[in-house]
């Protein structure tokens, strides 16, 4: 009878019995440890082959305290950014035999801590957090955590981080707009509790404008949330309240930028002739809107890979370090400016 690779519910005890050895010896063969005679080894391997036996991760983990599972906490799973991040992590983790246990907070801050607890109970070997905010409770939780941990996207003191260079990226983009001859530049940001996207990018914009000695009208600086509709509304407010209309708008995410473009199209502003527009994120969409959107590519997959690699280093080498890795970015200048 041919065994089609079905995994039967066999235990190490049965294998031991069938091979006429103790389960200790079977375990040695399984883990390639200690002394085992060639004789016993082949006999055991043969039985394993025949039965299709696979050791229970369950029992193994209970004893060894290792699960080969990494918990990944995300603010959402619906966006491209999350997808790319996870894809990058998975690429590295899968190679090392780890699997990803998902934890989706749906942007609810309190769930970040809840999930850290839950993942700890599940004995994951490590945790990667794609963070959207920094708060003391979370920082406290992380620093007292005795599981290898890496945060992506926000800087936590005393924690290993993979960071995007939000500040310089946003300054570069602002400078690009200035270099293109714009002096009235609008800005669409998000709440500053998101230090990376909200605070740093805004600060970079204002710093660069200040350095260029360009004044920024209050109404030109608007705040939105992470969706397209919000970009539309932000630019609507901007245009309604401005004394003088801006000739360029820098939005801190592509979605906000695309929302802004919608508004501009609707009211027949020409892009980039009347108003230039720029975003951040290099979403797939950004390439196919009309005109193609100038944006910044943050290389999210690379970030995922980097985070996974750092985590694995911490796990395997018991690396206690708290590295800060700042990833590079690419400014993609397209027809919208």
Partner DNA sequence: ACTTTTTGTGGAATCGATTCCATATTAAGC
Partner DNA sequence: GCTTAATATGGAATCGATTCCACAAAAAGT
Give DSSP secondary structure letters for 159-213.
SEEEEE-HHHHHHHHHHHHHHTT--SEEEEEE-TTSIIIIIIHHHHHHHHHHHTT
Interface with a copy of itself (CB under 8 A): 4-7, 54-59, 61-62, 67, 69, 76-80, 82-84, 86-87, 90, 94, 99-104, 113, 117-118, 120-123, 140-141, 144, 228, 258, 261-262, 265, 284-285, 288-290
Q: Determine if 37 is a binding residue for DNA (CB under 7 A).
A: yes
Q: Are 148 and 312 in contact (CB under 8 A)?
A: no
The first and second tokens of residue 196, run together, are 């990376």
**Which among 36-44, 89-97, 186-194, 218-226 is the span making contact with DNA, rule CB under 7 A?**
36-44
Cβ neighbourhood burial of 314 (10 Å; 0-12, 13-18, 19+): buried
Rounded to 10°, the helix 201-211/166-179 angle is 40
The full 3-state SS of 63-107, as one line of letters, equals HHCCCCEEEEEECCCCCHHHHHHHHHHHHHHHHCCCEEEEEECCC
Q: Are 152 and 128 in contact (CB under 8 A)?
A: yes
| Among 9, 218, 243, 317, contact with DNA (rule: CB under 7 A) | 9
Q: CA–CA separation, 98 vs 48, rounded Å?
A: 23
Q: Between 42 and 117, whose beta carbon lies closer to a copy of itself?
A: 117
Choosing among a copy of itself, DNA, none, which partner's interface includes residue 140 (Cβ < 5 to 8 Å by kind)?
a copy of itself
Q: CA–CA separation, 114 vs 112, rounded Å?
A: 5
Give backbone dihedrals phi and psi of 256, rounded to 5 degrees, phi first: -60, -40
User: What are the DSSP E strand ranges found in 206-247?
Assistant: 221-224
| Among 17, 22, 168, 236, contact with DNA (rule: CB under 7 A) | 22
Q: Are 152 and 301 in contact (CB under 8 A)?
A: no
Choosing among DNA, a copy of itself, none, which partner's interface includes residue 183 (Cβ < 5 to 8 Å by kind)?
none
Non-local CB neighbours of 151 within 8 Å, separated by 6+ positions: 128, 129, 131, 142, 159, 160, 161, 162
Choosing among DNA, a copy of itself, none, which partner's interface includes residue 217 (Cβ < 5 to 8 Å by kind)?
none
Least Å from the CB of residue 15 to a copy of itself? 15
Least Å from the CB of residue 13 to a copy of itself? 14
Least Å from the CB of residue 268 to a copy of itself? 14
Choosing among DNA, a copy of itself, none, which partner's interface includes residue 25 (Cβ < 5 to 8 Å by kind)?
DNA
Least Å from the CB of residue 3 to DNA? 18
| Among 32, 58, 144, 215, contact with DNA (rule: CB under 7 A) | 58
Cβ neighbourhood burial of 7 (10 Å; 0-12, 13-18, 19+): exposed
Q: Are 247 and 185 in contact (CB under 8 A)?
A: yes
Q: CA–CA separation, 153 vs 197, rounded Å?
A: 9
Q: Look-up: residue for tokens 């919208």?
A: 336
Q: Between 45 and 291, whose beta carbon lies closer to a copy of itself?
A: 291
| Among 17, 45, 51, 60, contact with DNA (rule: CB under 7 A) | 60
Least Å from the CB of residue 67 to DNA? 13
Least Å from the CB of residue 319 to a copy of itself? 21
Q: Between 82 and 174, whose beta carbon lies closer to a copy of itself?
A: 82
Least Å from the CB of residue 145 to DNA? 17
Q: CA–CA separation, 260 vs 234, rounded Å?
A: 7
| Among 42, 64, 117, 265, contact with DNA (rule: CB under 7 A) | 64
Q: Between 122 and 210, whose beta carbon lies closer to DNA?
A: 122
Choosing among a copy of itself, DNA, none, which partner's interface includes residue 12 (Cβ < 5 to 8 Å by kind)?
DNA
| Among 3, 62, 210, 287, contact with DNA (rule: CB under 7 A) | 62
Residues of this chain that bind DNA (CB under 7 A): 9-13, 20-28, 30-31, 33-40, 55-56, 58-60, 62-64
């Amino acid at each position: 009878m041919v065994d089609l690779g079905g995994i039967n519910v066999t235990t190490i005890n049965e294998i031991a019995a069938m091979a006429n050895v103790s389960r200790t010896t079977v375990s040695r063969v399984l883990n390639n440890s200690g002394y085992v005679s060639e004789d016993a080894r082949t006999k055991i391997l043969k039985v394993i082959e025949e039965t299709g036996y696979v050791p229970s991760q369950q029992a193994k983990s209970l004893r060894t305290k290792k699960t080969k599972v990494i918990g990944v906490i995300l603010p959402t799973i619906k966006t491209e950014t999350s997808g790319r991040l996870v894809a990058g992590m998975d690429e590295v983790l899968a190679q090392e035999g780890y699997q990803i246990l998902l934890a989706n907070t749906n942007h609810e801050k309190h769930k970040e801590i809840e999930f850290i607890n839950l993942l700890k109970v599940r004995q994951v070997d490590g945790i990667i957090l794609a963070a959207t905010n920094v708060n003391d409770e979370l920082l406290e939780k992380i620093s007292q955590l005795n599981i290898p941990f890496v945060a992506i996207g926000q800087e936590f003191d005393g924690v290993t981080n993979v960071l995007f260079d939000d500040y310089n990226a946003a300054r570069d983009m602002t400078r690009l707009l200035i270099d293109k001859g714009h002096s009235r530049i609008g800005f669409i940001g998000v709440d500053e509790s998101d230090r990376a996207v909200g605070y740093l990018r805004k600060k970079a914009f204002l710093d660069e404008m200040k350095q260029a000695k360009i004044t920024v009208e209050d109404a030109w600086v608007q705040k939105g949330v992470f969706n397209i509709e919000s970009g539309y509304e932000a630019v609507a407010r901007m245009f309604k309240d401005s004394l003088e209309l801006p000739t360029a708008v820098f939005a801190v995410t592509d979605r906000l930028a695309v929302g802004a473009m919608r508004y501009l199209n609707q009211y027949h502003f020409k892009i980039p002739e009347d108003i230039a527009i720029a975003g951040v994120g290099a979403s797939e969409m950004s390439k196919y809107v009309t005109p193609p959107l100038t944006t910044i590519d943050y290389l999210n997959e690379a970030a995922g890979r980097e985070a996974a690699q750092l985590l694995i280093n911490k796990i395997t080498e018991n690396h206690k370090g708290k590295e800060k890795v700042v990833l590079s970015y690419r400014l993609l200048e397209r027809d919208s400016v």
